[in-house]
Amino acid sequence: MAYKVLYRKYRPSTFSEIVGQEVIVKTLQNSIINDKISHAYLFTGPRGTGKTSTAKVLAKVLNCQNIKNGEACGKCDSCKNFNSSPDILEIDAASNNGVEEIRELRNNISLAPSVSKYKVYIIDEVHMLSSGAFNALLKTLEEPPEHAIFILATTEVYKVPITILSRCQRFDFKKITEEDMSSHLKEICKKEKIDCNDDVIKEIYNLSDGCMRDALSILDQNSKLDGKVTIDELENNYEIVTRKSIDELLDSIKTANVKKTVEIIDTYANNGMNSQKLIKGIIRYLNQIAVDCKLHKINNYDFNKIKKIIMKLNDCYIDARINDNVFDIIKLSFLEEMDEISVSSSEEKVLPKENEEKPKDKSLIDIRINNCFSSANKESLTKIKEIWDEAKKQRINNINLSDYSPIAASDTNIIFTSEDESLANLMNVNATSVEKVVKKLGFPAKVVGISSKKWDELKKEFILNKQKGIKYEYIEEPKKTDKGNKIKEEVNQIFESEIVEIS
């Protein structure tokens, strides 16, 4: 017998075999038991979550001659001949999306089923139908014959006209949870005699992103050699971020080893890893560390520092869609936090007394905003606006200065706004380079970037403080520590230019 791949071999044939969609299965079974069957169903959700499989199981049960508790018996003629039944019509809308195909369906739908109780039309990827085809289908859905049932499946429900949606019972399929997928994969591994430990199954789940078909394909492919699947094999065949490599990265950051940190990230870049996939892997791991911190399972990391890094990496994830130098931005995000990520075990944490607020140190961004407000004037803002068109012609580390607008200025500081928070962060990372551009054009000042939303909040606060008579006092920017200068010197040597600002 020819070999059958795992995702086909273990495709559900009964409701009980469908994984991770208990609510949908229960609802469909109850409607069958209570004889409350709809003439049209719409199954929507991510790929590989069981939409088409559930549609086939539903069609099988509807035509079963001996239904028991909402399940097909599997023994009657209808069940045995289900795969070859002329009354079960599966249509791929991706390749049959024209008006003529739907008109042909309409012309044949009035014919009674050949051997079954119902004629079931399963239209896969229904969102691919043309506008004309949807219009042709509409009348059929509105007044179908009693023997016809439609099951529409789609991954992009927003492309389906509301007139179609309103005539269907809609079921939203969700991604398979890690618990459900792990349990199912372990059962298959046992049946197929595949050696696969919990760590490997967890990585397969992460790679599949909740898609059971992808998970089974990965398991199938990597078990071909000797019936054993290892982390090393997954790492060689797929772009995965292993716990070991992330631990090495965190260790290099905690020990302020700039060279090692850059080498690890460069290895990811040189291996052709997708930057968004890398960031997602690191965020997933750091998120678990943050949770363990809150649960007091570990005490060698500070929750707030880990949270701060996760937020910065999230901005990097957004940048990955519009920038080519994302790996450089990832490096800078880690290097900025190099002195802060670790909590020394020898330090005692002094808890504030009850109802006593912790003193908060102002960040460099807050200081620059404060200093701009302390002596902001119209003349300075006019001046920077006059030279900004010339400045926007400059290109800095793939930053498009046209994305920023000067919104407030003093003789010593300039505030720029951008529509996106990630773009504001990108300016702050490269503040030194921006300052060189404006200085060259005759305006030596410190710069800071914020989002338009943040500016609206700050403006309201500024007006309120003015009304209360609260003045903004100039604050000296903190001097860089010897350690910070040493790190900066190492980084600048690695990047072969002074492009890094460490605060």
pLDDT at 207 exceeding the cut of 60? yes
Is 65 within 8 Å of 78 (Cβ atoms)?
Answer: yes
Q: How confident is the model at residue 343 (pLDDT cuts 50, 70, 90)?
A: very low
Q: How confident is the model at residue 502 (pLDDT cuts 50, 70, 90)?
A: very low
- Average pLDDT, stretch 118-132? 87
Domain 6-172 class? Answer: alpha beta
What is the architecture, at CATH level 2, of domain 178-237? Orthogonal Bundle (1.10)
pLDDT at 266 exceeding the cut of 60? yes
pLDDT one-digit tens code per residue, 43-53: 999 888 999 99
Judge: domain 364-481, CATH 3.30.300.180: yes
Domain ranges of the chain: 6-172, 178-237, 243-336, 364-481
Q: How confident is the model at residue 206 (pLDDT cuts 50, 70, 90)?
A: confident
Whole-prediction pTM: 0.58
SS (H, E, C) 138-202: HHHHHCCCCCEEEEEEECCHHHCCHHHHCCCEEEECCCCCHHHHHHHHHHHHHHHCCECCHHHHH
Q: What angle do CA 475, 363, 417 make, to 5 degrees?
A: 95
Confidence at residue 400, expressed as pLDDT on a 0 to 100 scale: 81
CA quadruple 19, 20, 22, 23: dihedral sign = negative
pLDDT at 219 exceeding the cut of 70? yes
Q: 208 - beta bridge partners? A: none
Rounded distance, CA 221 to CA 145, Å?
Answer: 45
Lowest pLDDT segment from 19-33, 296-310, 317-331, 465-479: 317-331
Name the more confident of 282 and 173.
173
